[in-house]
Amino acid sequence: MVPDGDPKRPRVAVVTGGASGIGAAVIAGLVNAGYVTASLDWAAEEKVSSHGLSISADVRDPESVERAVSRVLSTFGRIDVLVNCAGVGLTKAFLETSISDWNRVVGVNLTGTFLVSQCVARWMAHAGSGAIVNVGSTATVLGTPGQTAYAASKGAVVVASGKVVYGSGDRVAADVATVTA
Ligand SMILES: NC(=O)c1ccc[n+]([C@@H]2O[C@H](COP(=O)([O-])OP(=O)(O)OC[C@H]3O[C@@H](n4cnc5c(N)ncnc54)[C@H](O)[C@@H]3O)[C@@H](O)[C@H]2O)c1
């Protein structure tokens, strides 16, 4: 679907992981700033409220992401901002970290950020503007014990964010920034 991106419609922000914590606070801030919001969170119930949509979606699953982003576009007609906030943590000794621990952390924090960003950036490229904010972590620079998988996943998000903007051969679809909490 190719929406019209009508400039008269309110600006729309998609926030992954918007059902709790930092994501919920980001949504509150965006609503205060006049945005209509769509929260994509696997722990969320589907609902429509005065400030936007809550959509149940798993950021690791391409079909779930595609369905959720299509729902946002068919409801609001545009996406101006994406905040990739969905994340999972892990503090576990390196020697005890299982492949399933690793895949869970990398799957949500890194693959999820990639999938949602790519899906939304396709529309932003078509619209000619947009902004993506990825949530990193100080774990990428601090040597916190037991955070190998978590720091690796967030570090990769930080590196990949820069490449979307500056990477040769990439069409620049959006301004991408990483914030650390
Ligand atoms: N809290 C901190 O001190 C801190 C520090 C640095 C970075 N961060 C980062 O900030 C972000 C938010 O952290 P938080 O503390 O608010 O955590 P939180 O657990 O309160 O919120 C994370 C949200 O992501 C959702 N989520 C998890 N897996 C998902 C999936 N597969 N699909 C869709 N949604 C999924 C959860 O349901 C939850 O609502 C995370 O990326 C985290 O790594 C947090």
Distance 45 CA to ligand 1 centre (A): 17
* CATH number, position 35: 3.40.50.720
Range of the domain at 173: 12-179
Mean pLDDT by 10 residues, the chain (181 residues): 57 97 96 97 91 96 98 96 96 97 98 96 88 90 89 92 57 55 57
Task: Tell me if 21 CB under 6 Å of ligand 1.
Answer: yes
Q: Using a 6 Å cutoff on CB, does residue 25 contact ligand 1?
A: no
- From the CA of 89, give the closest atom in ligand 1: 43
Q: Which token pair is 102?
A: 């690793």
Residue 139 CA to residue 98 CA, distance in Å, equals: 19
Is residue 4 included in any domain, yes or no? no
User: Ligand 1: which residue has its CA nearest to atom 11?
Assistant: 85
Res 25: pLDDT: 96
List the one residue out of 86, 87, 96, 94 whose CA is nearest residue 149. 94
User: How many domains, the chain?
Assistant: 1
The pTM of this model reads 0.92
CA distance 66 to 59: 10
For residue 125, what pLDDT is reported? 85
Closest atom of ligand 1 relative to the 59 alpha carbon:
32
87 in a structural domain: yes
For residue 136, being part of any structural domain is answered with yes
How many other CB atoms sit within 10 Å of the CB of residue 92?
A: 18
The two structure tokens encoding residue 123: 């529309």
Tens-place pLDDT, residues 9-20? 789 999 999 999
Q: Which amino acid is at 34?
A: G
Which residues are the active-site residues? 150
